[in-house]
Amino acid sequence: MAEPRRPLVSIVAPPGYGKTVLLAEWARREVRSVAWLTIDDLDNDTGTLLTYVAAALDRVQPIVGSGFPPAGSSSHLIGSVVPRLSYEMQRWARPGVLILDDVHRLVSQASIDALTMLLEHAPPGFQIALAGRTMATLPIALFRAHRVLLEFGRNELALSADETQALAAGAGRHLDADAARALTEQTEGWAAATYLAAIAGVADENAPGRPVRISGRDGFIAEYIRAALQPDVNQDDMTLLTRTSILEPVEVSLAEEVAGLPHVPERLESLARRNQLVMRVGETPATYRYHHLLRDYLRAELELRELGATPELHRVAASWYATHGHAAAAIEHAFASGDVDAAARMVTAVGLLMHYRGQRGQLDRWLHQFDDRVFERHPGLAVFAAYINALEGRPGAADRMADAAERSTVTGDAGDGAASIDSSRAMLRAFLMRVGPENALADASLAVAAEQPGSPWRSNALSLLGMARWVMGDFDAADAAFTEANDLERRSGRTHIVAVAGRASLAMARGDWDAAAELARDSHNAAERSNFGDIATGLLVHAVAARVASHRGDAQRSRQELVHAQLVLPQVSYALPYASVMGLLELARTYLALGDTEGAKAMLSEAEGIIRHRPNLGVLIGDVADVRRQADSAGRTVARHATLTPAELRVLPMLSTHLTLDEIGGRLSVSRHTVKAQSVSIYGKLGVSGRSEAIDRAIAIGLLEPFPGLRLTARPTRD
């Protein structure tokens, strides 16, 4: 199987054909290092998928540095994190194997695109094996055309008569050659059906010596599973199996809670010893997995045995997971139980932390399952959703969620740790600054009064107070509020990144460059340790670092920070008006200091676009006008640092994929014409004539990460 000229291996077959068994046998015999990841539904969040791929690789050879879980938009992850994973594979002492099982569970196009990029850039000599019922929408035809793919399908995995005979013998059923051939014909070599038929025959005392007869009537697989369970599964065991079939995997202590039966650990261990469809997959804690055919059967049987019990079992599982600190699993089971209010409370409580950890696709999927009535019943959830949309550069959605929070008549606990929903709403109003700095100041002051010392939201309220003071031109009061906000964070060993970056900007304004350098370094280091540098608030962090470096004559470091700032630009919008305009102003000043007038004007245009939506931004209006006059008086120069617009920065990483312009447009929800126009603009700014050159130039200046391996397929040029 290990054919070096075919770096990709695909194994596609229906359930029960032994795909995972084949992979396990390959891994057992393989002399090279093997990393294994079984895909699940949560991997439809691109950041989660890449985190687990990294974890699989890390088990073979530790990954250098930090940065997982990754954060950012899907295009950012494709352009930065996937190349890093390719690099980590390149670092292995010798080429190895990466196995990805159950690939059919990937339905998110963003996750599929990220996986495709990883496949295309596998290091030389490396093999990546994919197994699943389908290959989703992976470009298998493209890999096949380039002769880099070794394929196994249903026909290759189907059992021969000899293999059927051997499998039946292993299950305790001895078939002669004729019986084995007959069973192979009836099952068409389907390993699962063969096994189930064989063990059902063992239970039939009148069966020895006779071929096993299989009928497709009324679902023979269900009949054979039922027959397989009858000999050694009593009623309590069956209740345990059906009730715990909602779990995946089945952890013993959770199974005890869900099943409500005695002796659950002993029962599960006994079932695993007696039945190959129940497998032990973990030791600490003891964890089991049911074969998917068995699980499907058990879930149907649960509805027959205990009509309507499934939602309550999911509710119990959700409560257990929440109590044991597994928020994501708790939320999934809450949704499965139909209790959207419980799910709303959980998302409100943990959502912002999950967002900062990079689990953004997962959060978006959950938020899309709530309707407006849920947001109005849970205004804390609406506040959270508004924050998320603002930080991700979706201002219209942020405003809509803010309106839902304001419409709600619910009072009392916000559910997110804030003192009250009134305080939570006040902080959101100050954050969005939709009316003006005076109102933002009043709202921030209300929140500071409400969030007393000890509140996890007090530092956030103080930072918002500092921003409002700044926009009103009260710089000393702004600096004092920022300082107090960060002092609170430092007591817990953290840094308030935005507050410290704001203080750096204020220090530069008063000419205290030594203080600015220290503050810029602190905010930048803290951003690197977290995911704050990749969301909208990270713009100010990179901007002050770029300007400090430029002032100190470190043009190379300044350019690096300008590139990092550009990568954040797609998340910047009028939903975060003050920090965005402040950051854009610092970038414009840096470009002017470096002699790049066009770069400065590009940043000013972005700032002016924000001001058109938020025209009441106090002193920032005059600051933008002043820097615009400086840029206009400097005359026109050639852009030196390839300053791309946020829209172009969304397109750029996609150009490094196999996707056509039509497909890129589909991913970004824009027309092919728009993608083509943006691509042409990118080529012009980068000084290149085509797609391949654009990617090479973007890598050279730091807008994209380089891939260490050879590309498996040629980059398309037909667009």
- Statement to judge: residues 100 and 50 lie in one domain: yes
Residue 214 — pLDDT band, cuts 50, 70, 90?
A: very low
Q: What is the pLDDT of residue 64?
A: 67
- Statement to judge: residues 93 and 147 lie in one domain: yes
Of the candidates 54, 113, 131, 127, which has an alpha carbon nearest to the alpha carbon of residue 85?
54
Q: Which of 127-136, 352-361, 460-469 has the lowest mean pLDDT?
A: 352-361
Q: What is the pLDDT of residue 65?
A: 61
Last residue of a domain, one of 633, 654, 682: 633
Specify the higher pLDDT residue, 106 or 718. 106
Q: What is the pLDDT of residue 716?
A: 47
Q: Which two tokens stand for residue 662?
A: 């039509």
Percent of the chain with pLDDT over 70: 90
Q: Does some domain include residue 324?
A: no
Residue 346 — pLDDT band, cuts 50, 70, 90?
A: very high
Distances from the Cα of 161 to the Cα of 17, 152, 204, 257, angstroms? 15, 19, 22, 45
Answer whether residue 43 shows pLDDT above 70: yes
- Statement to judge: residues 153 and 12 lie in one domain: yes
Answer whether residue 211 shows pLDDT above 60: no
Residue 221 — pLDDT band, cuts 50, 70, 90?
A: low
Specify the higher pLDDT residue, 5 or 310. 310
Q: Does some domain include residue 471?
A: no
- Statement to judge: residues 659 and 624 lie in one domain: no
Q: What is the pLDDT of residue 615?
A: 94
Of the candidates 54, 7, 12, 65, which has an alpha carbon nearest to the alpha carbon of residue 32?
7
- Statement to judge: residues 153 and 165 lie in one domain: no
**Three-state SS for 149?**
strand
- Statement to judge: residues 259 and 223 lie in one domain: no
Of the candidates 409, 402, 466, which has an alpha carbon nearest to the alpha carbon of residue 434?
402
Give the DSSP H/E element, type plus range, for residue 109: helix 109-120
Of the candidates 294, 198, 287, 175, which has an alpha carbon nearest to the alpha carbon of residue 241?
294
Tens-digit pLDDT profile for residues 436-471: 899 999 999 999 999 999 899 999 999 999 999 999
Answer whether residue 301 shows pLDDT above 80: yes
CA distance 677 to 542: 28
CA distance 394 to 387: 10
The strand ranges marked E within 43-83 are none
Mean pLDDT of 257-285: 86
Of the candidates 646, 707, 705, which has an alpha carbon nearest to the alpha carbon of residue 681?
646
Answer whether residue 204 shows pLDDT above 60: no
Q: Does some domain include residue 252?
A: yes
CA distance 619 to 471: 6
Mean pLDDT of 92-108: 89
Q: Does some domain include residue 52?
A: yes
CA distance 152 to 155: 8
CA distance 81 to 705: 8
Answer whether residue 520 shows pLDDT above 90: yes
Q: What is the pLDDT of residue 217?
A: 31
Q: What is the pLDDT of residue 74?
A: 66
Which residues constitute the domain of residue 390? 336-422
Task: Count how many residues are written for the chain.
Answer: 719
Q: What is the pLDDT of residue 101?
A: 92
Q: Does some domain include residue 116?
A: yes
CA distance 345 to 674: 40
Answer whether residue 224 shows pLDDT above 80: no
Question: For the chain, what is the mean pLDDT?
Answer: 86
Q: What is the pLDDT of residue 668?
A: 82
- Statement to judge: residues 665 and 579 lie in one domain: no
Total structural domains within the chain? 6
Q: What is the pLDDT of residue 200?
A: 62
Tens-digit pLDDT profile for residues 365-408: 899 999 999 999 999 999 999 999 998 889 999 999 999 999 99
Q: Does some domain include residue 268?
A: yes
Bridge partners of 11, per DSSP, are 131, 152
| DSSP characters over 30-79 | -SS-EEEEE--GGGGSHHHHHHHHHHHHHHHSPPSS---S--S-HHHHHH
- Statement to judge: residues 39 and 64 lie in one domain: yes
Answer whether residue 208 shows pLDDT above 50: no
Last residue of a domain, one of 257, 288, 307: 307
Give the DSSP H/E element, type plus range, for residue 127: strand 127-132
Q: Does some domain include residue 394?
A: yes
The strand ranges marked E within 423-477 are none
Q: What is the pLDDT of residue 68?
A: 61
What CATH number has the domain bearing residue 558? 1.25.40.10
- Statement to judge: residues 522 and 604 lie in one domain: yes
Q: What is the pLDDT of residue 215?
A: 36
Q: What is the pLDDT of residue 216?
A: 31
Last residue of a domain, one of 157, 180, 209: 157
Give pTM, 2 decimals: 0.76
Answer whether residue 233 shows pLDDT above 90: no
Q: Which residues contact 296 (CB under 8 A, 6 or more apart)?
A: none
Tokens 């890598």 belong to 699
Residue ranges in 614-657 assigned as alpha helix (H): 619-633, 646-655
Q: What is the pLDDT of residue 206?
A: 43
Distances from the Cα of 69 to the Cα of 77, 81, 714, angstroms? 11, 10, 30
- Statement to judge: residues 657 and 689 lie in one domain: yes
- Statement to judge: residues 135 and 244 lie in one domain: no
- Are the C-beta atoms of residues 314 and 336 closer than 8 Å to each other? yes
How many beta carbons lie within 10 A of that of residue 354, not counting itself? 20
CA distance 286 to 277: 17
Q: Does some domain include residue 466?
A: no
What CATH number has the domain bearing residue 673? 1.10.10.10
Q: What is the pLDDT of residue 66?
A: 55
Tokens 């370094």 belong to 521
- Statement to judge: residues 179 and 265 lie in one domain: no
Q: Which of 74-78, 155-159, 241-245, 316-320 has the lowest mean pLDDT?
A: 74-78
CA distance 570 to 523: 21
Q: Which of 122-126, 332-336, 425-429, 606-610 has the lowest mean pLDDT?
A: 122-126
